[in-house]
Structures are given as structure tokens and as C-alpha cells.
């Protein structure tokens, strides 16, 4: 019997077996098949489309090329080396420390992410970190697509997802041991949770997701922990059509879950630094560097490069002889007060800067 005949024979036998099955059994199998396909389609509905899948495939190819390009690259940025050092300490000694002493200079989540990767794939396995961050970049594109699709249209969503997928800064930052990729993904998913709250019947679980993701993003980059006043105003405005009890819940719930997410780290920092520190110790010193007598007039952000007797810490050491015996958090508090004092004494110069 030829190949064609064998195929026909097998097909005929299969069909005869199916025809001999009871009608109820055939209907049950058909319903199961349809249900499975419908379930898959419902899970993917709204999250993917054929053009988006093409974008993601192309994005994956580009990212593979960049992984090959960056393979073997050392850590060249000081922030990378700091994050890596903390992560290695977490893996080898179980301590969040710098120079052998407990530290609060960096938010904890990204070093914890690196430490997890090192535990799974080997200490200082930069290739594994870059690969995972490449996948995160693709996930970020899907999240941006979903946000834009719901706000505008499928077409806008595809363009937004594609722009995010191939945006040079996002492509390159995923190949450095920096917070940008993880932070962007957490922020985008927090926005998705907020969007789902408004589109999904104002349900509490979405507010919980919003608060937790907001807290995790803040533990990655501390800039977000100052958002509560803005969140309160926005939620009151966005829920103006709801009863007052629902509006109050919409305001309070995300704040509660946000606070619960960052609270363990804040308590640890406050105990270690002997003063309140919510996320990290960089806010006060950065504020002072932008607001003291040696801040550059036209490049205020470049005050980090001011050294010697004009450095922010040298100024504080002259004013507070005990400065270098204080904790990181206590020094940061002094720097914040010094910056506020300078602004109060020099409002016009502050505006000019």
C-alpha cells in the first residue's frame, strides 16, 4: 500500500471510530474542544493581537542581538557596582550592607532581585540578569499596549507597544544592572491595576493590587513614596460619581496596602539609622546638593561633582563637628534641614536655579 493509501486508510478508520461513538459522547468532546479554545481566547483577549505578537517577536530578536553584544561586558557604572555589591552581600552573608555595615543608601527591591537571580543562576551571573530584564522589557510592551488600547484604540495600543518595545533607552537600560527596567514594569502594572479598577466594577482587589505594586515600585526607586497626596486628590476626583463610602474606600485602600508593603523596610531603616527613613537615605543629601551656596547656577544637577571643601558633607562637617559619627539617616536629615534653610534665606536665587 502506498503512502497516500495508508493516509486515507488511517483517516477512514479514525472517522469510522468517531462515527461509532455515541452521539452524546461526540457532543461532549465537541463542547470540551470549543470550551478549551474559548477559554484560551478569553485569557488572551485584550492582551495580545496578531500585530502585537509580530512586534514582540521582532523585539525578542533585537534583544537577543543586544544580549550577544553585551555578553561579557563588565559593570562600568557606579550604581551598577553598588547594586551588585549589595546583592552579593545578600547572597553570601544575608545582609543588606555596604562596606561591611548595614546600609540604607539604596532602595531594597532591585538588589533583592539581583540576589534572587544570583541564587538561581550563580553569583554575578550578569547574562542571566540581562536575559530576565530583556523578558521584562517585552512584558512592559504588553502592559503599555493594554493601557493604550483601553484608553484609545487597538491601533493606538499597537503603536504605543511598538514604541515601548524599540525605545532605545529602554533597550539599552535592560543590559545594565540598573533599576529602570524593573521599575518601569512595576509602574506600568500598577497603572493597569488602577485602570482595571475603573473598568472592572470598582472592586477592592484591584485597589489592593494598586497599593502593593505602588509599594514595590517605591521600593525600587524611592521617588514614588511621596505620591500619597496626589493619589488622594486623583482618586477623589476620579470617583466623584460614586457614593461617599465607596469614594472613601477608593482613597484609603490603596494607601493602606501601599503602607503595608513598605512598612517592614521602613521599620528596619528607622531602627538601623536611629531616625525615620522611609525607603533610602538619598533624599536629603540630593536636596541639599541642589540648594546650597555651592550649587552650580546653570547646572544645578551637577552639584554631585562638587568636592573638596565645597562638598555638601564638608559644609555640614564644619557646622556639625559630630557629623561623621552620625548614621547615614541622621546625616541625611541634617542635609534636608540645611537645604530648606538655604531656600528660606535665598528664595530668588532658588527660583533662578
Give mean pLDDT in consecutive 10-residue pieces for the chain, a chain of 353 residues: 39 40 46 43 61 96 97 93 97 92 95 98 97 98 97 96 97 97 98 94 94 98 93 94 93 97 98 96 94 89 87 96 96 97 94 85
pLDDT of 1: 43
pLDDT of 302: 81
Q: Identify the residue whose cell numbers are 533624599.
A: 283
Q: What is the C-alpha separation between 318 and 328, in angstroms, rounded?
A: 17
Distances (CA, A) of 61 to 42, 142, 181, 185: 28, 16, 18, 20
Listed residue (309, 310, 334) closest to 324, CA to CA: 334
Residue 299 belongs to what H/E stretch? none
pLDDT of 45: 55
List the domain boundaries for the chain. Answer: 49-178, 182-277, 283-352
Other CB atoms within 10 Å distance of the CB of residue 53:
12
C-alpha cell at 169: 533607552
Q: Identify the residue whose cell numbers are 474559548.
A: 38
Among the residues of 239-327, which ranges form H helices?
244-273, 283-289, 312-319
Q: Looking at the whole model, is its pTM more than 0.85?
A: no
pLDDT of 86: 97
Q: What is the dihedral of CA 175, 87, 213, 183, to 10 degrees?
A: -30
C-alpha cell at 16: 469510522
pLDDT of 83: 98
Amino acid at each position: 500500500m502506498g503512502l497516500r493509501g495508508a493516509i486515507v486508510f488511517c483517516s477512514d478508520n479514525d472517522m469510522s471510530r468517531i462515527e461509532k461513538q455515541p452521539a452524546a459522547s461526540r457532543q461532549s468532546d465537541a463542547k470540551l474542544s470549543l470550551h478549551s479554545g474559548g477559554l484560551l481566547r478569553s485569557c488572551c483577549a485584550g492582551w495580545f493581537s496578531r500585530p502585537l505578537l509580530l512586534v514582540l517577536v521582532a523585539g525578542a530578536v533585537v534583544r537577543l542581538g543586544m544580549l550577544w553584544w553585551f555578553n561579557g561586558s563588565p559593570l562600568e557604572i557606579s550604581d551598577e557596582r553598588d547594586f551588585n555589591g549589595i546583592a552579593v552581600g545578600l547572597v553570601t552573608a544575608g545582609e543588606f550592607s555596604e562596606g561591611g555595615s548595614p546600609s540604607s543608601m539604596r532602595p531594597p527591591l532591585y538588589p533583592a532581585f539581583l540576589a534572587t537571580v544570583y541564587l538561581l543562576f550563580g553569583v554575578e551571573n550578569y547574562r542571566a540578569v540581562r536575559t530576565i530584564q530583556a523578558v521584562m522589557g517585552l512584558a512592559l510592551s504588553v502592559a503599555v499596549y493594554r493601557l493604550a488600547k483601553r484608553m484609545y484604540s487597538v491601533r493606538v495600543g499597537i503603536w504605543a507597544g511598538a514604541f515601548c518595545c524599540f525605545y532605545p533607552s529602554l533597550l539599552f537600560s535592560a543590559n545594565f544592572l540598573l533599576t529602570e527596567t524593573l521599575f518601569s514594569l512595576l509602574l506600568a502594572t500598577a497603572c493597569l491595576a488602577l485602570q482595571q479598577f475603573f473598568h472592572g466594577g470598582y472592586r477592592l482587589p484591584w485597589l489592593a493590587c494598586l497599593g502593593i505594586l505602588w509599594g514595590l515600585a517605591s521600593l525600587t526607586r524611592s521617588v514614588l513614596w511621596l505620591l500619597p497626596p496626589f493619589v488622594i486628590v486623583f482618586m477623589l476626583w476620579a470617583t466623584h460619581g460614586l457614593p461617599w463610602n465607596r469614594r472613601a474606600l477608593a482613597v484609603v485602600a490603596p494607601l493602606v496596602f501601599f503602607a503595608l508593603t513598605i512598612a517592614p523596610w521602613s521599620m528596619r531603616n528607622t531602627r538601623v539609622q536611629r531616625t525615620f527613613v522611609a525607603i533610602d537615605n538619598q533624599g536629603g543629601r540630593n536636596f541639599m546638593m541642589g540648594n546650597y551656596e555651592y550649587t552650580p547656577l546653570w547646572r544645578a544637577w551637577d552639584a554631585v561633582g562638587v568636592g573638596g571643601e565645597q562638598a555638601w558633607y564638608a559644609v555640614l562637617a564644619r557646622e556639625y563637628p559630630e557629623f561623621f559619627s552620625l548614621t547615614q539617616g541622621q546625616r541625611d536629615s541634617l542635609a534636608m534641614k540645611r537645604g530648606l534653610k538655604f531656600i528660606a534665606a535665598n528664595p530668588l536665587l532658588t527660583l533662578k536655579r
